[in-house]
Structure formats: C-alpha cells, structure tokens
Chains A and B, each alone.
Chain A
Amino acid sequence: LVLSQGEQTICTCTSDRLLIKGAKIVNDDQSFCADIYMEDGLIKQIGENLIVPGGVKTIDAHGRMVMPGGIDVHTRFQMPDRGMTAADDFYQGTRAALAGGTTMIIDHVVPEPGMTLISAFNQWREWADSKACCDYSLHVDITEWHKGVLEEMEALVKDHGVNSFLVYLAYKDVFQLTDSQIYEVFSVIRDLGAIAQVHAENGDIIVEEQRRILELGITGPEGHVLSRPEELEAEAVNRSVTVANQTNCPLYITKVMSKSAADVIAQARKKGTVVYGEPITASLGTDGSHYWSKNWAKAATYVTSPPLSPDPTTPDYLNSLLSCGDLQVTGSAHCTFNTAQRAVGKDDFTLIPEGTNGTEERMSIIWDKCVVTGKMDENQFVAVTSTNAAKIFNLYPRKGRIAVGSDADLVLWDPELTKIISAKSHNLAVEYNIFEGTEVRGSPLVVISQGKIVLEDGNLHTTEGSGRYVTRKPFPDYVYKRIKARSRLAELRGVPRGLYDGPVCEVSVTPKAMTPASSAKTSPAKQPDQPVRNLHQSGFSLSGAQIDDNIPRRNTQRIVAPPGGRTNITSLG
C-alpha cells in the first residue's frame, strides 16, 4: 500500500528528510490536498510542486488522510504500586502508542506521599528519557498538601516545563485532599497559570461502600464497581466544578467514565465554567459488564478507577458528547498490570492494582465508534485525538497541527483498514486486552515521529530513548484568555458605612452558635481598604462604589457576573 519512491529506500528509519506526496492533510479546522516536506524533525513546506533536495525519501499517500500524530494526554507507564511496577514501561508503552498512531504521550508523575515533587519528577524524567520512543511531557500529581508543595509547584512551572497538576478526590488516607486543600491548590494553580486536573470520585463514601461490600462477602472484581457507583463520580465532578468556579481556576477532569459525570461537565460548560473532560479509550470502547466475568483474571483486567460503567449504553453516550464538543480530549489512562500482579487482590478487590490498557487502541476505537458511525468528521477526530490536547496544555501549534514549523509528527491514516484487537497481536506486555475481539475500522498505515518513519508496512522501527521531553509554558491562551478576563471582572467592594454605635449585646466567649469561630482575626474595621494578603493581586480592587439604599426594593437591578464562573463577583448596580 505504501510506495517508497526515493532512492534511499533501505535506510527508512533514519532519514532526516521526508516528502509526503498527494496527501489529504486533515487538521482540526479543515482538510486539503497538498504535499508535505519535512526536515530535521520539522515540517518545512506544505504545498504543491514543492522544491525539495534530491534524494529525499518520498511517501506517496495516494490521496489518503495525513493527520497530526495523536497525543495521548494520560498515560501511567512504569507506574510504581506497592513495590510493583506497571507492566508497560516507557519503552513498551510508547511503542504501543506509536503503533496506534500516537506520537506524543503525557505521563503522570505520582509522588508517593512524603516524596518531594521535584525528586519524583526527576525520577520520572530519568525513566522516560532512557526509554521513551516518542516525545513526552509530564503531569505532576499533588498527593499531599503543605507549604513546601507550593514552592515545588512554582519551581516545576517556572523551571521544569510543567503546567498541569492532578489532585485526587478519592483514595482516602493515601492521595485524597480535603475540599479546603483543593481550594488552596486550585488558587495556587490559577496564580501559576497551570491546569487543575482532578481524579473525581468521592473517596469518603467509597471507603464506606468498600467496607460494606466486603462485609457482604463480595471479594471479587465485581465488588470494585459495586463500591464505586457512578453517582460518586458525578458528585465529585460537581464538587470540583464548584471549587474551580470559586477560585477561577481552569479545570480538567481526567477519566470521565460515566454518563452522569459527563452530564455534569456538559452542564457546567453550558453555564460557562472553564472545564474540560477526558474520556479514555476504555470508557469509549467497552463497559463494566466484564467485572462479572467468571474468569477472575479477565474480570480483574478491567479494574480501574473510576470503574467502567456497567451501563452498556455508556460508551455510545460518551462518544456522542465527545463528538459534539462537550468532552474535548481523549487519553488512554494506560496503566497495565499482568495477571500475577493483579492477583495480589485475589481475595480482596480493594487490593487489585488499578488500570487498563488503551494507548495503542485509542485512535482506532474513536475512529470506529465516532467517525464510522457518523458522529464526528475527520476534523473533529483530529481535534479530540490531538489538537485540543495540544491547545489545553500549551503545545499548540508545535504539536496538534500540520503546519510549516510544526513538529514532524504525522500519521498516514487508512480508514478502510480493519483490525481485530487481541492480546495475541498487541504491542503490550500483558496477557489480557480489555478490547479483546473488538473489530475496529481505521488504523495508521505510516507513522512519522520526529520526522522519522516509525511504523511502516505494519513494522515498528522505534529507537529506545529517542523521545524528547517537551516543556510546556504556563498560561495557555486556549484556557487562560477567559480566566484572565474574569479575574479582571472580579471586583469586590465593601460598603462604606458609618461605624455602628448602638448597643452591643454582652456575650460569653464561647464560639458563637451559628458561625465558625474565627480566632486569629484582627480588628478589621479600622482599615477597610488594606488587604493583608491579596490572592488576586492582578484583578481585585476595592472600590468605594455602593448601592443606593433609600429604595428598599429595586426591580431593575442587574447582577454583573461572567458566565458560570463568577467567584464572588457580585457587584450590584
């Protein structure tokens, strides 16, 4: 199918110059026919009848689609878990990603509580630099909260190219943060210009349910999903949306697994909240009925959190929301464990290491479920597999677009190619594949990463350690334009009043019955215009305006508030 017309057909995997002829270039905004010339890992020219040096390896696309390589925004390769390590390391994982048409991954750094963020980050860099076969970046998870963490976050943003941090609403007593802590983390993230990611599940209630399920004698993988009903996912999404609105911080929900959770995100977006939802390959491609499989090892393969929904209409629903833009990006949350590792939880589902595969299958699953079914077109496909991720995480247009100057990460896509997914043929280190037996239409024919052909004729030509760490700057325009406008709107005003000089009731010093005791408060009435600590130095001002109080009930008042987000921006009049 692929014609290699250049003279240097032998040295396919090391060529620094590449020409794709007769391509239908598919970006997220339009498709058009043109040739693409690449050199030194960058796209140098796009157009017809390009003038290129002699001896360039040429791929004839024959009018097939060439699209920006996929960006898998969520992987957990080589993730440590209680002394074990996820089966797919950065080499195996990125190979699988490339095989599926994904040319960049963003992995999660998970500091064990007690470990500093920077040392965890460096650890992950070391692992990835020596093994990754494609470009990568890193999210950092905030697994505990104190002042030192704040300083480390600042350093990560300023010196290490990190612009996204994930907090957990679940995993009580391990990773879980309280609402107050999340409020503080979000405030910091907003000030740093980063993205707040959340693992959204109500960890408190999950613990109660886990105990109840175990006490009922349910110890198998079905207990996992029974103890984590989708309502708890939706509740946590709703709570994080509230806190994000309150702090005017952009929010990104990882692993959208259920219809209810997706609905909460869609509603919040309609109200104007800056929130993004990330369904994963598993939630788009399969469902939670497998937890009831009589084959323990197979059932355990599906264990991930939030769990796959037992409602079999879920994948179709999530694919629809992805198509209409209510959900924006797709990750794989690829985190695989082999059966022996899973078997750690053979007598207790709460001990089963969590995670599913999906990095290799991601693009094909979406093509099959969304494009073939007519839910989305090829441009939206590019948006949800690549471009939106690049925009949100400030990689655009270097990544996520075919344009002059962009990285030469490209995929020649064959919409006709049909595959049957199977653990026998996948590029993973595990014995099970959660999509086993699924027939998908649409697959990569040729994959180019950093200007080099890494997949051709079904053969992978990857080089361990060739992937580069890609830094990401804070304040991505795509996310922060609205946030910035809102913080300018957020003027809070005190009402200037004469001092109250009437009688004051004598009371005992015990904390008052109806509001929290605020012990560390100084007398604030003296200087009503001197903020002690201004969290919003750029936006908030104390102006002296007030409303006319002579008319007790006015009917034409307007509340000035930006859509959805307003954080206490109730300026009347």
Chain B
Amino acid sequence: HAVHELIIQKNVTRSERLLIKGGRIVNDDQSFYADIYMEDGVIKQIGDNLIVPGGVKTIEADGKMVIPGGIDIHTHLQMPFRGTSTVDDFSQGTKAALAGGTTMIVDHVIPEPGSSLVEAFERWREWADEKVCCDYSLHVDITHLNDSVKQEVLSLIKEKGVNSFQVYMAFKDLYQMSNSELYEIFTFLGEHGGIAQVHAENGEIIAEEQARMLEMGITGPEGHVLSRPEELEAEAVFRAVTIASQTNCPLYVTRVMSKSAADIILQARKKGNVVFGEPITASLGTDGTHYWSKNWAKAASFVTSPPLSPDPTTPDYLNTLLASGDLSVVGSAHCTFSVAQKAIGKDDFTQIPEGVNGAEERMSVIWDKAVVTGKMDENMFVAVTSTNAAKILNLYPRKGRIAVGSDSDLVIWDTDATRTITAKTHHSAAEYNVFEGMELRGAPMLVICQGKIVLEDGNLHATAGTGRFIPCSPFPDFTYKRIKARKQLAILKAVPRGMYDGPVSEFSPMSRGGTPSASTRTSPTKAPLRNLHQSGFTLSGPEEAPIRPAGRRIVVPPGGRSNIISLS
C-alpha cells in the first residue's frame, strides 16, 4: 500500500523538527523538487542538501507532491441548533478535516438575532480553543443590524482578528436582511476593509414557495429543493453583486450550488466586479436527485441551503468554472446533524435542520473531479483548496504557500491512492455521508499540522485544543487593491449653475405620483451631514458639459461603480 512506501527513519510521532526529503513542492504558481526543513511549526529552509541538526525526523517523500495544507474556508462545527448542536464539534470536525488533508478551517459565528456579535464571537473562541486540532479563524455572521452592531463589527475588525462578515438574503423573519440593510453593511465593510459574504437566495420568494408546497401536501425533503429553485439563488447573487458594486465593497458568495448562480458570478467578474464564488464539496461532488430518495433519512441528509441542484450536470459545470478561475475557493460548509436531529422535520421539510458533510472529502473530491479529469493542474488545485482562501482572508503567505517563514502545514498528496467514501469509515459523527459509495482518486498520505505529523499510515494523531486562532487583518491586498483604486476614481461633481429664479408651481407636499416623498430631509445645499466616503469622494469644481459631445468618454472602473460618472 502507498503508505508503506514511506521510509520513516525515526519512529517519533511528536517532533518539533521535521525534514521532508525528495518531495515535489507544489505551490499555486509552480512545482519544483526540493527538501523542506521545519522547526517550531514554521518552514525554515527549502532547497537541496539542506544543513539540518542531527536527530531530525526525516520523511522520504519519494518524489511525491508536497502541497500547502488545505484551508476549509467554510465550516459550521458545533453549531448550536435549537438547544442541541451539530454532531461534529470542533474536535470531531477538525479531525475529519485533517484526515482529508485540510490543516486550517474557518468557521462561522452565528449570533442569535438581537444578541451581541462580540459575545457570540467569544463563545465560539472558547468552544474552538478547547477542542480544535488545527489552526482556525472565524467569520462572523451579521444576523441583525443596528448602530451597536456596526460598533461591534468595527471592534471585531480592529481588535479581534475578524475581516469577513456574512449576511443572509434568505431565512425570512430570522436572519434575512433588506436591500437597504445590505447597502448599509456593505458600505460599512467597504470602508473598514472587511469582506462581505452573502448567503444568496431570495428569502421572500422561498417563503411563498414553501407555503405553496406544504399546501400541496408535499412535506418530504423533495419539498426543500422544489421550494428553492436555483433561479432564486441566481437572482440573489445578481442583487448582491449590484449592491456590492454600488458600495464598492468586495463580495464573497458562499455556497455556490447551481449553474445559474455560478454564471452570474462569472459574468460579474468579466465586467470587473470584485466578487469571489465559493462552491462547496457537496455541489462539486454530488447533486440534488437524492432529495427524491425513498429513504427519508438519506434524502434528509442532503438538505442544505441553497439546495443541491437536481440538474445532474451541475457538479461537472461547477468544477469547470473552478478550473477556469471563475469560481475562486472551495469550502465544505460542513454542518452535520444526526438522523434524529434531521427527523425534527419528518412531517415538514421546512423544519429539517440544514447542512451536509464535506470537510473530510473536500480535497479528494476536487482532485478526482477536476484534476484527474484534466480540468485543472496540480497548481490550480493548490490555489482553489488553499492559496486563494489565504489570499482573500489576508493569511497569505503565512498560510496557503510552501515558503520559508510560512507555517508548516503541509500535505504529502498521493495521486494514486483510491478510496471509497462511506459513512462506515468517515471521521464525521453523522450516520450518513452525502458522498456514500463514491470512489475517489487522490488522498493525503501524510498530513503535517503546525509542524507535527497528524496523519500517517492512515492513523490520525490529532490532539484536541492544539489549534490556534489565527487573526485575519483588514484590507487584504488581494481584494482591496482594486477597491482602493476605484475609490480614488469615484469623484462626484455637482454642476455649478446660477440659482433658478423663474416661477415655481404650487404643490402639496403629500404623497406624489413621481418620486418618493422626502420628508425627513434638511436643506440639502448645506455641507455634507454624513460623508460615507470620506477618503475618496470630493466635491470638485465646475465642469463644462457640452450638449452633445461626440467623443466623450465615461470614466468608470470596470464593472463597478456606477456613480462615478465624470463626464470629461
């Protein structure tokens, strides 16, 4: 077996010093042969014939690929749910991640609507610090909006190491945000260097469709996908793109589940929008036909939102867009419930707790579906499983790259290994696996996390509580260079005119047939009351506006911002 090809010179499983000899280092930009020497959890040397201290544990890679450990940018471990929580806690979940070659996770903090974001964040920190077996970071979901929420967002960005915040366009009357609220949040995040993540589905229409399905007597898991057609996902993505471009805020669409949604993202990127799409293991590896399974428990295990598409060509299409760079990163959205928990919704699909597994299978699914099929090469594989995530969240090059000074989170990847996914052998605590029976080529042979071997010979040696919280700082270059440049461009100018001194019609200031009544407005000719864009926008002087200039150019950055119409 593949694992036996490793020649372990010293039988020490816990070593602060490690040498990988004869590996082919695969980064997102190139592959090359070199040895890697690690000490204290950091890569110290890369090259041939390294001079290393004696007694160092040496791993013979035999020309196999050594890649940066995967970053699972989207997990819901130990997520509270109506008094219980998901079955994979931070220990179980990170073990599953490590077993699949992922050495860092980014989990979502979900504050109860109305409660404090910082408190929820601290609670998640507590849960995670006690149990995680690998490094982690946290996204914080914004589930309600008021002024104190903004203050909390600011302190999370400045003091707590959070730079990504998710908002929901679905889950009406619970998490869902209105367009105005999205605008406000995006504006705020754009100013403070955060990344706006969205759960993109039109919650209003879903609520209508759910009511219709239930009234028609459709109560099983198929009702879940029937009430959430992919057009509603695409619509919400389109809307989020519009608002993000309006507010000049980088956008990150979590869980890209359908072809239509992916298409909107790629079109937006072609128009120049700063938007990233995250397909998940499930949408890349399986489809929504299983909602029609006669086994209720099995069908229910696929329930997640947006749902898996019943169109069986979806996974192949998403893998293609991932390979072409139109989609950027892959998460697992790992959020597992037991059958008994799912059974809360046995008589009503809207009550089924949502989420699928995928942390353990993520890397292998992508290798099998995208690399083995020739869609992408090994470097692109590293980009979508690790590097791009690190860049987006400002963790690069500490994470996501094999380089001197980077964290020693490494995976020796065996391209020939083949395994069959089954709930019998997986590391998740759930009874079902959405990839059950799938044979996947490509698997980690050895996983090193924080400089320690955690997977070897098929055995996990993970220790709960050893993972560290990795703070993410704001204004990641990868996302904000373009945003900053666009801010410079966004100069709005008023036309200097003499005062209009002609006759003015009498009118009643009540409701009107043409424009919204503007009741709460003060005299607008005064100085700006609240300048949302203090760094970028200026009121500059007069501008000649010829009547019909033939060769006029509109200066706008690609795709973006519409309000930047400076006529020259």
Instruction: Say if the beta carbon of A209 comes within 8 Å of chain B.
Output: yes
Given known A232-B242, A492-B213, A525-B347, contact A353–B514 (CB-CB < 8 A): yes
- Asked whether, in the complex, the Cβ of B502 is within 8 Å of the Cβ of A217, the reply is no
The answer to whether A202 touches B339 (Cβ under 8 A) is no
Which chain A residues border B509 with CB–CB below 8 Å?
82
Task: Return the chain A residue nearest B243 by Cβ.
Answer: A205
- What distance in Å separates the Cβ of A167 from its nearest Cβ neighbour in chain B? 14
Shortest distance from the beta carbon of A504 to any chain B beta carbon, whole Å: 4
Complex Cα distance, B350 from A525, in Å, reads 13
Tell whether A312 is near chain B: CB-to-CB under 8 Å. Answer: yes
Residue of B246, B289, B516 touching A229 (CB-CB under 8 A): B246
Task: Map CB proximity to A onto B353-385 as digits: 1 under 8 Å, 0 otherwise.
Answer: 111000000000000000000000000000000
Cα–Cα distance between A534 and B214 once the two chains are bound (Å): 11
Q: Once bound together, how far apart are the Cα atoms of A511 and B530, in whole Å?
A: 38
Cβ A504 vs Cβ B340 within 8 A: yes
Contact with A along B178-194 (1 / 0, CB 8 A): 11100110000000000
Whether B219 lies near A524 (C-beta < 8 A) is yes
A294 at the interface (CB under 8 A from B): yes
Give the chain A neighbours of B296 by CB distance below 8 A: 497-498, 500
Question: Which A residues are in CB contact (< 8 Å) with B516?
Answer: 171-174, 203, 207, 350
B8 at interface by CB-CB < 8 Å: no
Q: Tell me which residues across on chain A come within 8 A of B530, comparing CB atoms.
A: 215
Contact A555 B545 (CB under 8 A): no
A498-B184 Cα distance, complex, nearest whole Å: 48
Report yes or no: A552 in contact with B210, Cβ–Cβ below 8 A.
no
A547, B292: Cβ atoms closer than 8 Å: yes
Confirm or deny: B2 has a beta carbon within 8 angstroms of a beta carbon on chain A: no
B234 within 8 A of A: yes
Answer yes or no: A459 CB below 8 A from chain B CBs. Answer: no
How many residues in A have their beta carbons less than 8 Å from beta carbons of B? 136
Query: When the two chains form the complex, which single residue of A84, A235, A350 contacts B515, counting CB atoms closer than 8 Å?
Result: A350
Q: Are the CB atoms of B242 and A504 closer together than 8 Å?
A: no
A499 to B341 Cα, complex, angstroms: 16
Inter-chain contact B204/A350, CB cutoff 8 Å = no
The reply to whether B295 and A343 contact each other, CB–CB distance below 8 Å, is no
Complex CA distance for A503 and B530, rounded to whole angstroms:
56
Residue A50 is within 8 A (CB to CB) of chain B in the complex:
no
B219 to A341, Cβ gap below 8 A? Answer: no
Tell me whether B503 and A340 are in contact (CB under 8 A): yes
If A208-B180, A214-B521, A235-B242 touch, whether A514 touches B353 (CB-CB below 8 Å) is yes
If over half of B's interface residues share one DSSP class (helix, strand or loop), that class is named, otherwise mixed; here it is loop
Q: Which residues of A contact B210 (CB under 8 A)?
A: 516, 518
Total count of chain B residues near the partner, CB < 8 A? 134
Min distance, Cβ B500 to any Cβ of chain A, angstroms? 4
Task: Report which of B202, B499, B523 forms a contact with A242, defined as CB distance below 8 A.
Answer: B202
* A519 CB to nearest chain B CB (Å): 10
Q: How far is A353 from B513 in the complex, measured between Cα atoms in Å?
A: 8
A535 interface residue (CB < 8 Å to B): yes
Task: From the candidates A212, A227, A521, name the one contacting B348 in the complex (CB within 8 A).
Answer: A521
Asked if B65 is at the interface (CB within 8 A of a chain A CB), the reply is no
Q: Report the Cα distance A572→B394, complex, angstroms.
A: 44
Stretch at the interface among B77-85, B132-140, B324-332: B77-85
> Does B250 interact with chain A (Cβ within 8 Å)?
no
Segment among B33-41, B67-75, B223-231 that sits at the interface with chain A = B223-231
Instruction: Indicate whether A183 sits within 8 Å of B246 (C-beta atoms), given known contacts A202-B179, A222-B495, A531-B215.
Output: no
Confirm or deny: A549 has a beta carbon within 8 angstroms of a beta carbon on chain B. yes
Interface string of A549-567 (1 = CB under 8 A from B): 1001111010100000011
Binds B, one of A57-65, A285-293, A462-470, A474-482: A285-293
Instruction: Say whether, besides A219-B525, A292-B543, A503-B343, A497 and B294 are in contact (CB < 8 Å).
Output: yes
- Contact indicator per residue, chain A 169-207, by CB within 8 Å of chain B (1) or not (0): 001111000111001100000000000000000111101
Known interface pairs A347-B525, A499-B346; 15 further A-B residue pairs with C-beta atoms within 8 A, sorted by A's residue number: A179-B204, A214-B524, A229-B563, A232-B242, A234-B242, A242-B235, A312-B552, A341-B505, A492-B218, A494-B217, A494-B220, A509-B82, A514-B81, A514-B353, A559-B310
17 contacts between A and B (CB under 8 A): A215-B528, A216-B537, A216-B539, A218-B492, A503-B343, A504-B343, A511-B174, A513-B80, A513-B353, A515-B354, A521-B348, A525-B347, A531-B216, A533-B215, A542-B217, A554-B289, A570-B229
Residues of A within 8 A of B (CB): 79-84, 110, 112-113, 171-174, 178-180, 183-184, 202-205, 207-220, 222-223, 225-227, 229-232, 234-235, 238-239, 242-243, 245-246, 289-290, 292-297, 299, 305, 310-312, 338-341, 343-344, 346-348, 350-355, 492-500, 502-518, 521, 523-525, 527-535, 540, 542, 546-547, 549, 552-555, 557, 559, 566-568, 570, 572
Interface residues of B (CB under 8 A from A): 79-84, 110, 171-174, 178-180, 183-184, 202-220, 222-223, 225-227, 229, 231-232, 234-235, 238-239, 242-243, 245-246, 286, 289-290, 292-299, 305, 310-312, 338-341, 343-344, 346-348, 350-355, 436-438, 492-500, 502-518, 521, 523-532, 537, 539, 543, 545, 547-549, 552, 554, 562-563, 565, 567
